[in-house]
Structure 1
Amino acid sequence: MTTDRPAPGPPALFRIFGRIGVLSFGGPAAQIALMHRTLVDEQRWLTEAQFLRALSFCMLLPGPEAMQLATYAGWRVRGISGGLVAGGLFVLPGALVIIGLAYAYAALGDVPLVQAAFLGIKATVIVIVLQAILKLSARALKGAEPVALAMLAFLALFLFDAPFPLVIGLAALWGALRAGTADESPPPARLDGARTLRIAGAGVALWAAPIAVAWAAGSELLLALGLFFSKLAVVTFGGAYAVLAYMSQEVVTGRGWLSAEQMLDALGLAETTPGPLILVTQFVGQLTGQDAGGPVLALAASLMTLWVTFVPCFIWIFAGAPLIDWLESQPRIAAALRAITAAVVGVIANLSVWFAAHVLFGEVGRVESGLLSVVAPSPGSFSPLALGLTVVAGILLLALRWPLLAVLGLMAGTGVVAGLL
């Protein structure tokens, strides 16, 4: 700890990170800004350099970068116990809200006025994803090569429906092969490999425990949810938006757990809660359990999904945070991670097309021809109302820069009024 204040005690840790968790609306950018103001400017628990190094590291890990940054901050000032408190409090408020929203959605989701409200939320989601593309592009696409990687990633997904992990893996390989090797300096500090292995081993055992219980109990749905969202947890480079295309493809088309409309509703509801957007996985798991077996199975599915989604985040930080300085001296690793970040822009662009098609058109299929597999909306199912709501949401968010929650509330109300008319 190199700041000018002593390490905080448990009461301060709970108070500060609890407040961050409750106020963490508005997506990663707003959450990171809140943590910077709180942890660097007000509490001075981290220096500016520590905060920025940790942020860069977390943005290159699979999983929600803001939640992992909170976990790192807690680890930095109070060790593993501090990381557990900080990361847990960042997720817990939103997780509790998601449980309530999913039960309410299961009971009321088919009510016409509720569906009208969701149309306004879905229209706003289109703009939110567009915002994510603009922000990430400004940060990641500096030069011709990153732009080309983003375009190739988009085309691979949009034209050929390529698997998301394959696109990310090829981008990483390209970045590593293109990197120079002249600056292969030794690590700045000795790495404790035994410690890293112990932490990783204990974390993986905890991660797998509920999956093993589901297998022993013979619960096929819980086992399938645990395995699927565990796999998802290790390929979510670039945050939640980057993986939503892959998740939506599998959940809607591959496994048939939810409809495309339910998937869009899940994202819209997750946008209204505090905490990381990847909590949408919890909503998906709970709704799948509700459809398959009622409220008890829904809660079990919700908790299973929550566990296997977020336990890996703690593993990455507790095992990997000591490697931050070392990674900076490894040019091939750094270049591979930069290439992944560029490809993620193309992934999110493909996601925006998928979302927009399902919001603006009532019927969306695919055109298959050889290797080609392209999203194909039915022109006759176009919704002028959905387009109008999207335009209004775009003006409010992009031009007038209204707060996200205010726009979501207004657009949901506008959708209800339009439904009544």
Structure 2
Amino acid sequence: MTPASPETPASAPRAPPAPVSLAQAFWFWLKLGFISFGGPAGQIAIMHNELVERRRWISEKRFLHALNYCMVLPGPEAQQLATYIGWLMHRGRGGLVAGGLFVLPSLFILVALSWIYMAYGELPVVAGLFYGIKPAVTAVVLHAAWRIGSRALKNGWLWSIAGLAFVGIFALRLPFPAIVLGAACLGYLGGRFQPAAFAVGGGHAGGGAASFGPALIDDDTPTPPHAVFSRARLLRMSLVALVLWLGAMVVLVVSTGWQSTLTQMGWFFTKAAWLTFGGAYAVLPYVYQGAVEHHHWLSATQMIDGLALGETTPG
């Protein structure tokens, strides 16, 4: 008798799990907000273990399909993945709960740690703690760069674009948006004239997605009504988002002025939300260039310390 392969575990359940209420999902997303350590890779691994393997709220194939889309969007892919799954399960309320609880616990923890850093950062014990964390943070960032590069840079053409981008940001001090735009143009031209070298790779599952038993959401599940594309809904939601963002910016400008730190931070991170393709770590050079070199909101040491705080907290 041939043993069951890893792709089709013999112990895989045959019946899908019971439907999940919004309240049940709320407590899970809250738990995830407290345990999602390890940066984007660790957070995605935790979600895969909890949502695909243990709870079977979503199938392996649908999970990886969603992750592929999140990887090509600007911004943090792990939070986007959580928001998408929450929205898919419980419409807009589910997306708000999943996305919000993914970051809220770490927000409060970071505020507390930042206060300790500002109030007691000169004490030898606290300073020594940060000096000890910095090498580990450097290793995490280097590992993330290697992981992203080994996955994305599949041939000499792509390595050349990466090298040009590095020269542009490190040696020529070009603005980050200009580098992203230039890389996008080179990618477009490469897709036109060297399509084989610039073809989009397959899914993350390699030879095939593993099966952990029937899931609540899989390829055989009918598309829920709220997930069916609607041009009117897209325009309506885009308008709501624009009004909310514009309202916040108007309040900042009227109350503090355009040149105030709060207003400039709002505008700066709005651009970051649109320009930082490549996952959560792709935002680091943009934030460093803007916050440290251009606006001088932080020193280089303070940014490294802030990154250390971020890497030692969930979310």
CA distance in 2, matches of 1:274, 1:207: 26
CA distance in 2, matches of 1:204, 1:242: 25
CA distance in 1, matches of 2:17, 2:188: 40
Question: Counterpart in 2 of 1:147?
Answer: 159
CA distance in 2, matches of 1:180, 1:250: 33
CA distance in 1, matches of 2:290, 2:296: 8
Question: Counterpart in 2 of 1:235?
Answer: 275
Question: Counterpart in 2 of 1:248?
Answer: 288
Question: Counterpart in 2 of 1:222?
Answer: 262
For residue 56 of structure 1, the aligned residue among 22, 46, 68 is 68
Question: Counterpart in 1 of 2:112?
Answer: 100
After superposition, give the CA deviation of every residue in 1:202-249 in whole Å (9 maximum; x if it has no partner). 112223332222222125222122111111111121123212112112
Q: What is the deviation of 1:100?
A: 0.7
Runs of 4+ deviating beyond 3 Å: 3-7
1:202 is aligned to 2:202: no
CA distance in 2, matches of 1:208, 1:7: 38
Contact between 1:7 and 1:77, CA under 8 Å: does it hold in 2? no
CA distance in 2, matches of 1:37, 1:230: 32
TM-score normalized by the length of structure 2? 0.80
Contact between 1:211 and 1:222, CA under 8 Å: does it hold in 2? no
Q: Which has the higher contact order (CA 8 A, sep 6+)?
A: 2
CA distance in 1, matches of 2:237, 2:313: 31
AA of the residue aligned to 1:74: G
Structure with greater helix percent: 1
CA distance in 1, matches of 2:16, 2:158: 39
AA of the residue aligned to 1:251: A
AA of the residue aligned to 1:233: A
Question: Counterpart in 2 of 1:44?
Answer: 56
Contact between 2:40 and 2:280, CA under 8 Å: does it hold in 1? no
For residue 98 of structure 2, the aligned residue among 78, 81, 86 is 86
For residue 115 of structure 1, the aligned residue among 122, 127, 141 is 127
Structure 2: which 5+ runs fail to align? 1-14, 196-226
Alignment partner of 2:171: what SS?
A: helix
State which drifts further: 198-207 or 94-103: 198-207
Question: Counterpart in 2 of 1:77?
Answer: 89
1:13 is aligned to 2:51: no
AA of the residue aligned to 2:88: R
Distance verdict in 2 for CA 1:175–1:6, change over 3 Å = farther
Q: What is the deviation of 1:145?
A: 1.5
Contact between 1:236 and 1:242, CA under 8 Å: does it hold in 2? yes
CA distance in 2, matches of 1:171, 1:59: 16
Alignment partner of 1:135: what SS?
A: helix
CA distance in 1, matches of 2:231, 2:71: 23
AA of the residue aligned to 1:262: Q
Q: What is the deviation of 1:74?
A: 0.3
1:267 is aligned to 2:267: no
Q: What is the deviation of 1:61?
A: 0.8
Aligned length: 267
CA distance in 2, matches of 1:214, 1:141: 41
Report the aligned-residue RMSD: 2.0
Percent identity reads: 45
Question: Counterpart in 2 of 1:169?
Answer: 181
AA of the residue aligned to 2:280: A
Q: What is the deviation of 1:128?
A: 1.0
Contact between 2:30 and 2:101, CA under 8 Å: does it hold in 1? yes
After superposition, give the CA deviation of every residue in 1:128-185 in whole Å (9 maximum; x if it has no partner). 1110122112211112211111111111112211111111111112222222599xxx
Contact between 1:70 and 1:90, CA under 8 Å: does it hold in 2? yes
AA of the residue aligned to 1:249: Q
After superposition, give the CA deviation of every residue in 1:298-329 in whole Å (9 maximum; x if it has no partner). xxxxxxxxxxxxxxxxxxxxxxxxxxxxxxxx
Q: What is the deviation of 1:114?
A: 2.0
Contact between 2:77 and 2:280, CA under 8 Å: does it hold in 1? no
CA distance in 2, matches of 1:170, 1:6: 49
Question: Counterpart in 2 of 1:66?
Answer: 78
